[in-house]
Structure 1
Amino acid sequence: MRSLPIVSGLARKVGETARSIEIMWQAGLVPFPRLDDGLRSVRAVRRFGPFTGAVQAAARRDGRAVAIVDDLGPLTFKQLDDRSNALARAWSARGLDDTSVIAVLCRDHRGLVLAMLAAGKLGARMLLMNTGFAKPQLADVAKREGVRALVFDEEFTDLLGAVPGEVERYLAWTEGERTGREHPALEELIASTDDRPVPTPASSGGFVLLTSGTTGTPKGAPRPRTSVLDSAQFLDRIPLRAGECTFMGAPIFHATGLSQCILSFALGCTVVMHRRFDPEATVRGVAEHGCTALVLVPTMLQRIVDLGPEVLGRYDTSSLRIVFVAGSALSPDLGNRATEVFGDVVHNLYGSTEVAVATVATPQDWRRAPGTVGRPPVGCTVVLYDEKDRPIREPGVTGRVFVGSGLSFGGYTDGRNKEMIDGLLSSGDVGHFDAEGLLFIDGRDDEMIVSGGENVFPVEVENLLVEHEQVVEAAVLGVPDDEFGQRLKAYVVLVAGSSLDADAVREHVRTHLARFKVPRDVAFLDELPRNATGKVLRSELGQASSM
């Protein structure tokens, strides 16, 4: 009898593997009947990691196909492959190898892509720095992670002042003339050597992603290697297809942008990117390149939708089949507005730096239940647990979210880990399933506000506030209260020219929610403090000045 769970588990694993292969084949990732190409792709990924391996495989299939279009123009897959060979050779000559940690502090452009490819060819570990870092954060992370070389855009030069002097520095993007600069540029290194293929490294160094750092110094979450089958976790519920075009609005240093960049390269898609996000330029780029997928964080989607029908109507975005949103919560109001603009194409992914993919809401899921984050794709498991670590089976009951996925990390670089139950990893969030099995995130486990003995999760109040036609965005915190322990304080950003006052904000909440969910305090701000991926920096809200 003890063998039954083992047999059942093996059967489930075999079924998931078969389903994953089928999904990959439908997307064009498994080039049936040319299975030899597929096997070569698998070998490339194993040797150099998913990012470098994907570009090498695409260059072998059709080197003339355009891989990226950035602010400087297009580059083919062969050009990326050749130029990253040259960069890897130049770095190798300077002593960088598979024991090195190479960090990048770059916006989205070819220099970032080439640095990531070259690091993969050396077998070096690639550390993706957040472009929104302050100088102390950058220095702390560089020291903790043992960074040997740092690749950066010239605009971030002043942030490097506290980074240890022994860390080598390379410029990925320069402004104006390059003469007289202290540090060599990647383009100079590429021009200084040949572009022959480099020797295969002993092992793949992989990536280190960083947590948001909204509550302190960001933690490092390593991704040493992944299985090719793990790509099915995205493709199962997000219909990317081979040979199409992706507009990358989200930053590549974040898991959202990185994952979709890797997947697009693996499918031989063109990736369009700009160094700085501009909402109208993004819509224009989608129209000009006939992009079929648009990758964004919610604040970017908000700025696009806020352009209004007059501006949006100038551009033909009918090529879009996918608006992929992840990185922070997508409110029901914003998701509905985006659906009105682009049609049934919004795909809302829920996950984290640590757990990777947890669930995806398809456009059909969203239509049925606005605000949902959907269902787990193939290869993923999501279970809710109560405060006594017991699984919650009933719909509508809030519990702590735990996730199982082949893409989940194995622990932070400092040796710590997230809580685990039954082999599943905590996401740090709480949520509930509805009667149809769709997941809803109710908030962060550590953001629950207890006011007068009642539990309040800020996201419910925030979502209601942004539904008001005069509110652009809102955040809700718990602040100390002598009588109730905590009381709710709302930080609200209004549309230009609005006359909405605090009493009207409270009345709006009182009309729709329970009395204990009404904010006692209301502060009006010009904007909410956010990091580069759109997450609200709640620790800074108390320091923000009201209008």
Structure 2
Amino acid sequence: MSASGRLLHTVTLARASVVLCKRGMVDPLRPRDALRASRAVRRYGAFGGLASFTAAQYRHWPALTDDTETLTFVELDQQSNARAQAIPAAAGGPAVVGLLRRSGVELVLDLAAANKAGVRTVLLNTGFAAPQLADVCLREGVTTVVADDEFAPLLRDLDPDVVRLTGTQMASRAATKSTAIPVVPRRPGGLVLLTSGTTGIPKGAPRDRLNPLQSAQLLDRIPWPRNSAYVVAAPLFHATGLATCTVGLALGNHVVLHRRFDARETLEAVQKHHARALILVPTMLSRILDLPPAALNAFDTSSLSVVFVAGSSLSPELYRRAAAHFGEVLYNLYGSTEVATAAVATPAELRRAPGTVGRPPIGCTIAAYDSRDRRITRAGEVGTIYVSSGLSFGGYTGGGSKKTVDGLLSSGDTGHFDDDGLWFIDGREDDMVISGGENVYPLEIENLLVELPGVREAAVVGVRDDDFGMCLRAFVVPAAGADIDADQIRHAVRSRLARHKVPRDVLFVDALPRNETGKVLKRDLARMEQR
């Protein structure tokens, strides 16, 4: 690193420290606490160290609640100590644990335990089928899978040498172990997050080191509450749920989880715990706002100061509906499994420019490049998005990486910025459709469609066409009782957008295929039949 680069890095770390102090993650009047936290993380990893440090800080305050139990911070630490000793050793190589768990206390316990044992952890998608689960475990070198009891049938295709433990078996093993602090491992257990897999088998993105700068990026533009309650509805096996759960615990909050998402139960939890933060993916937010008015308004959500969404696109229409119900408390994060945080939109920015992903927080850089890898400097010009967040992404566990330009990593999205420096995502780079020589980004059309009366959801894909090479096909989920036809859809698009953006085909369907984090599986749309 050059002298100027080292200086910039030092200044950025200093600014990050200010953010951590401002948000209450670090108390400048108690420097020993910060040193103890840093030492715990170095010894036991991000999650093992978190359990150890927060137990000393918050003791018998409630830390986690799910559908069946509540743990205090001390109980979280002690029970993860016991589980660290219950993890089976690997024969002839490093142990790697795959966790196939729904969001709940057990997942957090196992993750902290694996860290304390110095075992690498792979967070497995609960939507996997048995063959996909086996393929991912083989690629990641998983030696033990710990799965909720309901997933036991999915373990049948695993390699015979992989140890299989149900949740009940893991709990029984841990019950016989000591809750004393375990021996410090040679190195903390690392973490592998899986990409969404919307275009194929999910890839593994390692997260082996914790950088204070990454915490500051999540805290910089969002006033996360302290000593309160968070309802984390986003799944914990994905970065959105995991990161916000971790931040919540680090700030002394009571984190409330549910094994399965239910719109009414989520609002009920907000009311019951007087939660000040609610974490969702956009599809969950849409499901909540789709509740009948009587059900939606039956719950008091006035305690909320942060409604945080991430994981997929937040349409302007969904933002408007959310702001009308919850008020000016919505924050939208744009990022990816590979780069973590890229940009955050505040309520004021969303109000001024619905659909924006905001600005990069401290330590993050976002830029757009044209097809010749030249940096775009003109507002409104669309290019490929590249990001740097200070997170060292050295490539996928199975090989390969993302393209880099000027030290920035491709996000795989296209986007632009406006005259005020606010960023907007136009769509996935591989979703772009070339129709009659014109570039079309389906997201623009999808955002228009969901604003139409009678349309609940919509997705647009490209299909082969003899005359134009590709043409557009729209899949529309109508609202209950709606009376809308294909000609009305096409007319609405034609009146607002250019002619080459009008879908040739409009198919009405009952639901769009989505993965566990709410992203539309566009590769599956071609197999859907018209309702």
Q: How does 1:61-72 map to 2 (within 5 A)?
A: 61-72=57-68
Per-residue CA deviation, residues 383-411 of structure 1 (Å, 9 max, x unaligned), is: 11111111101100001100001235221
Q: Does 1:26 align with 2:22?
A: yes
Conservation of the 8 A alpha-carbon contact between 1:104 and 1:128 = yes
Against the structure 1 CA distance between its residues 97 and 334, is the aligned structure 2 distance closer, same or farther, given a 3 Å change threshold?
A: farther
Q: Does 1:44 align with 2:40?
A: yes
Partner of 2:302: 318
How far off is 1:6 after superposition? 4.3
Q: Distance in 1 between matches of 2:214 and 2:199?
A: 30
Q: Distance in 1 between matches of 2:372 and 2:424?
A: 21
How far off is 1:114 after superposition? 1.1
Q: How does 1:63-462 map to 2 (within 5 A)?
A: 63-91=59-87, 99-172=94-167, 185-462=169-446
Conservation of the 8 A alpha-carbon contact between 1:222 and 1:409 = yes
Q: Distance in 1 between matches of 2:323 and 2:246?
A: 26
Give TM-score scaled by structure 2 length. Answer: 0.98
Q: Distance in 1 between matches of 2:101 and 2:158?
A: 16
How far off is 1:454 after superposition? 0.7
Q: Distance in 1 between matches of 2:219 and 2:486?
A: 45
The farther-off stretch of 153-162 and 360-369 is 153-162
Partner of 1:178: none
Partner of 1:181: none
Q: Distance in 2 between matches of 1:468 and 1:157?
A: 44
Per-residue CA deviation, residues 198-255 of structure 1 (Å, 9 max, x unaligned), is: 0111112221011111111111100001212320001001111332211010000001
Q: Distance in 1 between matches of 2:255 and 2:287?
A: 21
User: How many aligned residue pairs are there?
Assistant: 531
Q: Distance in 1 between matches of 2:35 and 2:180?
A: 23
Against the structure 1 CA distance between its residues 545 and 408, is the aligned structure 2 distance closer, same or farther, given a 3 Å change threshold?
A: farther
Q: Distance in 2 between matches of 1:272 and 1:409?
A: 31
Conservation of the 8 A alpha-carbon contact between 1:28 and 1:241 = no
Letter in 1 for 2:127: G
How far off is 1:90 after superposition? 2.1
How far off is 1:130 after superposition? 0.6
Against the structure 1 CA distance between its residues 194 and 103, is the aligned structure 2 distance closer, same or farther, given a 3 Å change threshold?
A: same
Give TM-score scaled by structure 1 length. Answer: 0.95
Q: Distance in 2 between matches of 1:294 and 1:157?
A: 31
- Structure 2 residue matching 1:117: 3-state secondary structure: helix
How far off is 1:88 after superposition? 1.1
Conservation of the 8 A alpha-carbon contact between 1:248 and 1:257 = yes
Q: Distance in 2 between matches of 1:97 and 1:252?
A: 31
Q: Percent identity over the alignment?
A: 52
CA RMSD of aligned residues (A): 1.5
Q: Distance in 2 between matches of 1:492 and 1:305?
A: 18
Q: Distance in 2 between matches of 1:144 and 1:8?
A: 40
Conservation of the 8 A alpha-carbon contact between 2:25 and 2:250 = yes
Q: Distance in 2 between matches of 1:339 and 1:410?
A: 39
The farther-off stretch of 43-52 and 78-87 is 43-52
The farther-off stretch of 96-105 and 72-81 is 96-105
Partner of 2:6: 10
How far off is 1:458 after superposition? 0.3
Conservation of the 8 A alpha-carbon contact between 2:155 and 2:164 = no
Q: Distance in 2 between matches of 1:352 and 1:95?
A: 31
